[in-house]
Structures are given as C-alpha cells and as structure tokens.
Structure 1
C-alpha cells in the first residue's frame, strides 16, 4: 500500500515584511502524484513551495498534510515525518564530496548512481566544484535516497541537458510519493500525452489563476509562448 500522502495550502498568506507575497492561496497536491507550480519570477511559486515545507511562516491560512493541520509543525518535525525540500540554491553541501553528500542521504549509493550514472566518475569531487546541472543531479539523487513521502523541488532540471532533464522528470513521476515541483514553464518532459499525468497550479502575483490538468490549459502547445 502507498505511504504517500497529499499536502495543501488553505487560504495561505505569506508576508515579507510589509509586502504580502501570497494572497490567500489555496492549492492541493495529491499523493502519490506529480503537481507543478507554474509562474514567472515573482509569481509566488517558490514562496508557496517554501510555505508547504515550513521554511516560511504563514501570516494567515493553513498547511494541511494528510488531512491534518501542520501549520505550526516545525521544519525538523516535518522532515522527520517524511517531507523533503530541494531548494533552487544551496541544495548540496559544497565542501563535501559527491559521495559524502550521498552517504548523508542514504546507506547505499547504488540507487543514486542507477538514477544518474553521470555521477559515478564525480564521486571523489567536492560538490562545490560541480557544474549547475551536475549539482542538480546530486540534489535530486539525494532526495531520491531519502525516500520522502512528500518531496518539494524548486526547478529540478535547472542547468541540465534536455536528455537529463527528461530523465529527472521520469524519476520524479515514478516515485510513490507526493511530488511538488516549481517551474517557470511546463517542462518539455511533461508536454503532450504526459501532460495528462501532471496536475498544475499556475500562480501570478501571489494568487492562483488556474488549477487543473496541464492538458486543460494547453501548456504543452508549441504555439504557446510564456
């Protein structure tokens, strides 16, 4: 039986000082499954992801996980219960080697190297010396080793080649977990027929302007310019 569970924001508000970044946002990410938070820079997609993780406090509303209000649950307790956040930056320990980063996430490196064979020759290198795409591979593979129930990833394929980006979304889509990713536009790997397997919340200026299957809005269309 699946151990995945859904997570949601209910009328969530987040403030950065005097500025409100989320204006009563309600969105649901079912589990197991893949949910995409879409939006341009400043839309609130990263803020929503961090609000779900608990790294940003809400000024109003609630975070609901598996039917329970976890708004006041500390970040470390959410992690203990199986929630993992992969931020856009500082997602790996730059002073540690690739192997050391992976060893902190799980007892065996094999699943990470099966996911990304490109990491094998890099095991002895310090993570801070990797390219952007290599760091994202390492960050995602660390998350895969953690066997999260809820996995939140900000721009998982940033800096990756198209082939590796497609592999990344294949891996994320196959997880028995609630997976939520934040992207500026729908990734090519989720276009066409695959768009029907992903649920989308599009944000603009701190509010949700669309919720539904990607196919409903035509996000994958080559004629759609975002």
Structure 2
C-alpha cells in the first residue's frame, strides 16, 4: 500500500504563508480529494506533495520515508505523476508525441478517450481546453504511476466525459489525489477520503458521503 502524506506542512510565498501546518494522508490504491476555493491552499498542498514548492516547516512522507528534501524530478522517477491545472501538455508536440512521453503504446489512452484518436497528428496547442485535459489525464493513465496528483482534472470537459474521467481515476491501482473546488457529483457515491481546506488550513477530513450532512464538524480534522 502506498501512503503519501503531509505532516504539519507549512509553505510560504515570500511574506505570506499559504499552508498553516496542514496534515493529511492519501492512501493507495485509493482516491483522495482536496477541496477548497481559490486561495484555500489546495493547489499548494498538491504541489507540496509533488515537490514543486518547498516546505518552510513540516514534512512530506511517502511509504513511511521522509521525502521532504527529495526534488520533484526524483519523486517523478519514483513513480509520482503530477497533472497541473495549467500547461499540462507540451503544446509544440503532437497528441501522439505527448502520449509517447508516457508510454510507447497509446492504446490505453485512446481507449480511455476515443475522441483523441482522430487528433493524433494535431499539435497539442491547437486542441480545445477539454481536449487538452483529456490528453493530460490520459498521459497520467498511461504512465502507470504509483502516485497520481491531478489539479481540476475535468476543466472544459462535457458532463459525460467528466464522469468517465472520475471513474477512470478512481479505478487506478495507485494513490490518486485530485484537487477540486467542490466535490463532483460523480464522486459522492464513491469511496474517497476528502479534505476541505480554507485559508491554508484543513477544516474537514472524512468520507465523501459525510460532506453536507447536518451537524458535521468543520473542525473535525
């Protein structure tokens, strides 16, 4: 079992602290959802797990080992895949070339998103926003990573494609962490660990089905 966690993590951007001692744990195989509005710290938490931003305090622990000082490229070599909200594909490369960076065989990615098949020879920067998200997520699916971190995976996708995307991510044999502003309806009935962040702090930790229940404690975490 893979377990990726933040322990009392603090992140600063100059004089501003974006994470105030955040503690969370993402098991795997399994799905973890980080919720929060813009400025809540959810993207920063995702980047801290990936090693994109340094911690000013606390630790990142992966399978019981402190990897706080391990750079992002080394975490990637160990099996971590990050799909950022922006610039998630290589615009100057074709769809086929983007997929080849993750796997020499694009079959799994094309089975996941058949809409990409007629676009294989198109440059990625000519795709629509939804098509670029499909390409970015399909690369993560093809990479067979141990940890998959995805920031707002379904931006620009139609509701049916978005629902399929969540189903594909939930079915991965990996530790999957997605960051969203609100809990998608497609995930409400799926087993998932949920953390809600506000102003850089965890205000809820529990299961997806508990969100919105009367009397749930915002300070449960």
Quote how far apart the aligned CAs of 1:214 are.
1.4
Match of 2:209 among 199, 208, 215: 215
Partner of 1:72: 69
Distance in 2 of aligned mates of 1:153 and 1:78? 15
Partner of 1:223: none
1:9 and 2:3 correspond: no
Quote how far apart the aligned CAs of 1:104 are.
1.1
Quote how far apart the aligned CAs of 1:205 are.
0.1
Partner of 1:136: 133
Distance in 2 of aligned mates of 1:139 and 1:6? 24
- Structure 1 gap ranges (5+): 220-226
- Structure 2 gap ranges (5+): 214-221
Quote how far apart the aligned CAs of 1:217 are.
2.1
TM-score (norm 1): 0.93
Quote how far apart the aligned CAs of 1:146 are.
0.7
**Superimposed CA distance per residue, residues 50-72 of structure 1 (whole angstroms, 9 cap, x where no aligned partner):** 00000000000000001110000
Distance in 1 of aligned mates of 2:154 and 2:184? 9
1:30 and 2:27 correspond: yes
TM-score (norm 2): 0.95
Distance in 2 of aligned mates of 1:104 and 1:27? 31
Deviating above 3 A after TM superposition, structure 1's stretches of 4 or more consecutive aligned residues are none
Q: Secondary structure at the match of 1:79?
A: helix
Matches within 5 A, 1:76-115: 76-115=73-112
